[in-house]
Amino acid sequence: MTLKYDTVFFDLDGTLTESGPGIIRSFLYAFEKMGLPMNQDLDINTIIGPPLGGSFKAFGIPEDRVDEAIRTYRERYFTIGKYENTPYTGIEDFLKRLKDDGYCLCVATSKPEVQAKDILEHFHLNHYFDEIAGASLDGVRGTKKAVLLYLLAKTGNRRAVMVGDTEFDIIGAHQTGMDGLGVSWGYGTRESMEEAGADGIADTMDELYRMIAEK
């Protein structure tokens, strides 16, 4: 019997690693260094996952200073913040299980690709992935949809599923014709992923495995 999927695309932040501390501290650093007030009415955890530009605007950075805010954020994140990060307990065993089963595994993240590769290498997880794709620093590949289309082209449009922790992962998957599975241990909410039409939401890695390995 043919498996439903033969390729699994994973988000990085909030799905493979608990990356919140480094992202949040670098985000706050940008506001402090630029001397600008920050919108205190929003949940700071919502910045983890979506592209930075939209998050900076939502939290009060003027449109004409968003690029400056991103550059300032990267001053800290590229040198310190990316290592304020921890792989979720059990994630390496989970990836090994899928790899041993013959799945093609890839990373599809909205963070810059060069940083995603560095983080996965730092935690010795990079060898589980056939491809690691993220946003390009020039902004051309700056949305989840764009990253997924790039990966689909590289992997030959296989039977792929996207796994992530926010509605942006689910929406991006559906925009490219894939199923989108959510995980509840990250930074998004079950409600937002359900509203985006998630094809399943896993509370544990064993549950996620069963969703992926469904015939």
Write the pLDDT tens digit of every residue in 123-138. 999 999 999 999 887 7
- CATH number for the domain including 196? 3.40.50.1000
pLDDT of residue 143: 87
The domain tally of the chain equals: 2
Domain-located, residue 2 = no
Q: Are residues 181 and 123 in the same domain?
A: yes
Domain-located, residue 143 = yes
Q: Are residues 144 and 45 in the same domain?
A: no
Q: Are residues 122 and 185 in the same domain?
A: yes
Q: State whether the Cα torsion 40-145-185-112 is positive or negative.
A: negative
The pTM (predicted TM-score) of the whole model is 0.88
Q: Are residues 205 and 138 in the same domain?
A: yes
Q: Are residues 68 and 162 in the same domain?
A: no
The mean predicted confidence, pLDDT, of the chain is: 93
What is the SS3 assignment for 109? strand
* Whether residue 13 lies in the annotated active site: no
Q: What is the mean predicted confidence (pLDDT) over 180-197? A: 96
Q: Which domain holds residue 47?
A: 20-83
Q: Are residues 110 and 191 in the same domain?
A: yes
Which residue type is seen at 19?
A: S
Domain-located, residue 1 = no
200/12 Cα distance (integer angstroms): 18
Per DSSP (E only), the strands in 66-103 are 86-87
Q: Are residues 53 and 131 in the same domain?
A: no
Domain-located, residue 152 = yes
- SS3 per-residue string spanning 41-76: CCCHHHHCCCCHHHHHHHCCCCHHHHHHHHHHHHHH
Q: Are residues 94 and 194 in the same domain?
A: yes
Q: Are residues 13 and 32 in the same domain?
A: no
Residue 215 reports pLDDT greater than 90:
no
Q: Are residues 111 and 64 in the same domain?
A: no
Residue 1 reports pLDDT greater than 60:
no
Backbone conformation region of residue 177, classed left if phi is above 0, alpha if psi is from -120 to 50, else beta: left
Catalytic position from the list 11, 165, 169, 179: 11
Domain-located, residue 138 = yes
